[in-house]
Structure 1
Amino acid sequence: MRAVLAGSLGVALALGLTSPASAATGPEVTACPTALPADTTCYGGQDVNGAHYTIAMPKVWNGSLVVHSHGGPDLGAPTPARTTDDLTRWSVMVREGYLWAGSSYRRGGYGTRMGAADTENLRKIVVAKFGEPRKTFLHGQSWGGDVAAKTAEIYPRSYDAVLLTSGVLAGGSRGYDYRVDLRVVYQYYCGNHPRPTEPQYPLWQGLRADSTMTGTGLRARLEECTGITSTTRTPLQQRNLTDILAVTRITESALASHLNFATFTFRDIVHNRLGDRNPFSNKGVRYSGSHDDAALNAGVERFSADPPAKRDLSYDSDITGTIAVPVLTMHAIGDPTAFVEHEAAFRASMGWRPNLVQTFTTETEHSALSDSEYASALKALVTWERTGRKPTPASVAASCPANDAKYGKGCFFNPSYTPASYASRVNARPGGTHWPALTPLQSFLWERQGVRGIAP
């Protein structure tokens, strides 16, 4: 066991040898995005690890701070545009009187604990510039929901409450299983990723390390196989598309983006973060919903995860349920990217603790919900933290019309909705679990043994 741990730790240390820390810049006054009120003051800079950040101070500050963890992960180099785009999308929080801060993270690619460290670094920069806020709230969106939850676990004294929206909350060790399934099911039907004439590689890699394929090239292969954008598909294209969607339960509108993730982000996780080790498995999964399930299950590629690789991904990104402060989540029932069943996985990870309230909307969006809803969720969370009176999905929904009078974006809460189990939407791995893949005890023991997971 110690030899395995030492070997994987060596890989993690090697992966950590990225660009050296740079000299910090800022915070310096910079132009605000046009979506913000004209009297907002914005600041920009770069921390010692290379992460860009943007800070927005409203003219009338309520004394509290919202620190934002963005989604993705982005695979390119970090840029200031990442943070200004996020500020534009959640300008409602500045309009509500909060000091807002968002980080680009120090590099592109996967790394939940890296994102958590950069989020916490930014909080310290804000405190050094403006003093200790009255309260500090943490907001995570999409994969940033995972980052924010991990941030709250690692830095429990830094944040007073947590808002998670459209969160990828099942963790890395199980949260991408449906994309693993997509990767192998797509190849079974399409056979062009890779083509028979190209170098072959196991599909858990996503894409071979030296491939020059682009997103445009991948989309062309998807079009070739399924005619996804065509109004005159061939019968074979239509059958391929129908079978892929039915088996994976991915919506047609989101198929290209999920395949993109299962290609390029998987390559990043496997080659760049885990030293070419496999954290994914589909051994024993029974696929269903196609025109010929027997043939599909007999012909689809199978593989098993390397246990240390799965452990490292789990340590990096799985949620242990040790968040002690109030947590409020908001998720669209029809989210095509992070299925709403992620919330069931998160509820299981939290172990039915009393500090979690989950709200749901009837929207079919992922990247941005209604400003009126964001304002309602944030106000409910702030009141809960201040008074100790726990909100309910019904009370959050009831508060929305008053906020919609200000923002006019609509209120779509469904207070009676409860998501089905994660396993009801995503194929369970035989012998695995859809309960927390990482327990607090495992996390503690792994830290004592020197496990680093995915290095910064």
Structure 2
Amino acid sequence: MTRTAQPRIARPRIAQPRIARRPAVGLAALLLLVAAAPASATPSTARHLEGTLPSGAAYVIDTPDDWNGTVLLFSHGYRPEGAPNPAVNAPDEPTKKLLLKEGYALVGSSYATSGWSVEQAVPDQLAALDAFRGEVGAALRTLAWGESLGGLITTTIAERHPGRVDGSLSMCGLVHGGVANWNSTLDATFALRTLLAPDSGASGNSGASGDSGIRLTGFKDAADAATSAKRLGERLGTAQNTADGRARIALAAALHNIPGWNDPGTPRPAPDDYPAQQANQYTAVRGLVAQPGFAWREEAERRTGGNMSWNTGVDYSAMLARSAHHKEVKALYKSAGLSLRSDLRDLARAPRVSAEPRAVRYMADHAAPSGRLSKPQFDIHTTGDALVPVQVENAYRRAVTGADRAPLLRQAYTENAGHCTFSPAEQLAAVHTITYRITSGHWDDTSPDALNSRAHQADPTTPARYAAYRPGPYPRPFQAPTQDITHHGLFR
């Protein structure tokens, strides 16, 4: 790629995040920091640059007319095998335009592979930063941010390569990590198969041969996974037509903590409207069976070299008691005249799924956050996320606290349904919040009122829905993978 001649060096301008409380003090401190900062960034006219990294991944760079010295490294979310895999450097075009208008430079890569690509994504993203430095110049500040799987990639970069970034922003991220993610997915599909397809003939990891076998892990190939998904999906559709089936689907959804409002296109059910909540959960559970539970799992198993999840030793009665949807499940079972105790007993007695050590170790090596932050991180999450339920933030907060890094983490929540359904205003408010923390050295007000004020000022045309919220416990106890491997006898 041809290098562009570097324009003259001048003092960078930083976009000023507007702070809802103590604005004069916060702004004054920020201005002092900017005045003292070395003029090492290289402002330029607006440019759009594309190229290819050594791994074969593509990268894309956008610079504004007047660069403020901060580069935002964006990590995109999961892309299934065979799907288009372009390089992107922002979550959406409206947010991208606002960031460029404020003077931020943007960079991101496509990753060398699609699928569960954390191993490839981290070095590709760091290589994209190298490309930015070569094409544009050295940044004063580097902020890593990403959404969904990209939130996990961002957190991995922040924890394992703190020298490359000054702070991080995870949006609806899988911050509980790959081990916990696949365990939680297994919990839901295991409950569905046990309760809705007791004649599937499956035992432990394997699905039985024949027309009714439903395999949950250890797939022979993508076609095998698709067959099992189709069979379980058919049982799921039949069950939704009966009161017993709806209660059991709600139980499986509760084990994964799928919220009763997870589609922003539907009205939010009343807190005690359990039938409406279950109908929403059913739609999300169908999506889980159609994609993450089988097709995406099969791709991840090929990557890791085997099954990376287990439910040996798991107490589903205790998990249900910890779930935010315990009351809903009890009410639906009672309405159906069905014994919840009996179904939980069936789950306890059903043959369990064990993990393969090499596969778990792969996930632990590449996709398991430790909580050991060295730079500040800000997490935001929608409260109605069915794909990556909001309780994962509780898991990561516990990990960070356990690593004695709690002062470096702040978390906030938007009152909306869906996965990563943030408005441009909400995303800009989050960028301003972590930018302020990086430049000032301390957190300013991260209350919902302050965040909504920043959101309105950044973009008054889109919603600002930050709300007071604290997620409940993550359904499974959150443990470091090394502890699981060493102490719990999880493997065959």
Report TM bin, short chain: 0.7 to 0.9
Q: Is 2:435 the partner of 1:385?
A: no
Count of residue pairs the alignment pairs up: 388
Distance in 2, Cα, partners of 1:309 & 1:198:
29
- Fraction of identical pairs, as percent: 22
- Once the two structures are superposed, the pairs formed by residues 410-421 of structure 1 within 5 Å of their partners are 410-414=463-467, 416-421=468-473
Deviations 1:411-446 (A, max 9, x none): 2112x4322222xxx234xxxxx143359xx9xxxx
Deviations 1:78-132 (A, max 9, x none): 632x627845374243343211112110012223232111110111111110001
Q: Among residues 245, 266, 286, which one is paired with 1:256 in the alignment? A: 286
Distance in 1, Cα, partners of 2:181 & 2:243:
33
AA matched with 1:161: G
Contact 1:146 1:167 in 2 (8 A): yes
Pick the structure with greater CA Rg: 2
Q: Among residues 451, 454, 476, which one is paired with 1:427 in the alignment? A: 476
Cross-structure match for 1:346: 396
Distance in 2, Cα, partners of 1:143 & 1:188:
29
Deviations 1:111-155 (A, max 9, x none): 323211111011111111000112111002111111111112232
Q: Among residues 412, 427, 434, which one is paired with 1:359 in the alignment? A: 412
Cross-structure match for 2:313: 284
Cross-structure match for 2:343: 293
Cross-structure match for 1:204: 217
Q: Among residues 273, 278, 281, which one is paired with 2:303 in the alignment? A: 273
Distance in 2, Cα, partners of 1:380 & 1:319:
22
Distance in 2, Cα, partners of 1:380 & 1:298:
46
Q: Is 2:131 the partner of 1:125?
A: yes
Distance in 2, Cα, partners of 1:183 & 1:245:
9
AA matched with 2:117: G
Distance in 1, Cα, partners of 2:345 & 2:175:
33
Distance in 2, Cα, partners of 1:26 & 1:200:
57
Contact 1:219 1:256 in 2 (8 A): no
Contact 1:86 1:102 in 2 (8 A): no
Q: Is 2:163 the partner of 1:157?
A: yes
Contact 1:319 1:438 in 2 (8 A): no
The alpha-carbon deviation at position 273 of structure 1 amounts to 1.7
Distance 1:335 1:144, change over 3 A: same
The alpha-carbon deviation at position 180 of structure 1 amounts to 0.7
Distance 1:199 1:218, change over 3 A: closer
Distance 1:412 1:197, change over 3 A: same
Query: Secondary structure in 2 aligned to 1:101?
Result: strand
**More divergent stretch after superposition (286-295 vs 305-314):** 286-295
Distance in 2, Cα, partners of 1:316 & 1:199:
36
Distance 1:438 1:45, change over 3 A: farther
Contact 1:52 1:78 in 2 (8 A): no
Distance 1:287 1:367, change over 3 A: same
Query: Secondary structure in 1 aligned to 2:453?
Result: helix
Cross-structure match for 2:110: 104
AA matched with 1:241: I
Distance in 2, Cα, partners of 1:146 & 1:247:
22
Structure 1: give runs of 5+ residues left out of the alignment: 1-24, 29-38, 429-433, 443-456
Cross-structure match for 1:179: 185
Query: Secondary structure in 2 aligned to 1:346?
Result: helix
Deviations 1:353-412 (A, max 9, x none): 211111122122222312111111111211111111212421x64253353253421221
The alpha-carbon deviation at position 212 of structure 1 amounts to 6.1
Q: Is 2:429 the partner of 1:376?
A: yes
Distance in 1, Cα, partners of 2:194 & 2:209:
12
Give the alignment's TM-score, normalised by structure 1. Answer: 0.75
Cross-structure match for 1:241: 249
Give the alignment's TM-score, normalised by structure 2. Answer: 0.70
Cross-structure match for 1:49: 55
Distance in 1, Cα, partners of 2:375 & 2:365:
21
- Once the two structures are superposed, the pairs formed by residues 23-172 of structure 1 within 5 Å of their partners are 41-76=47-82, 79-80=85-86, 83=88, 86-88=91-93, 90-91=95-96, 92-172=98-178
Distance in 2, Cα, partners of 1:235 & 1:201:
23
Query: Secondary structure in 1 aligned to 2:59?
Result: strand
Distance in 1, Cα, partners of 2:449 & 2:183:
32
Distance 1:86 1:45, change over 3 A: farther
AA matched with 2:308: P
Q: Is 2:364 the partner of 1:311?
A: no
Contact 1:332 1:340 in 2 (8 A): yes
Contact 1:44 1:53 in 2 (8 A): yes
Cross-structure match for 1:4: none
Structure 2: give runs of 5+ residues left out of the alignment: 5-44, 260-280, 318-328, 334-339, 487-492
Contact 1:109 1:269 in 2 (8 A): yes
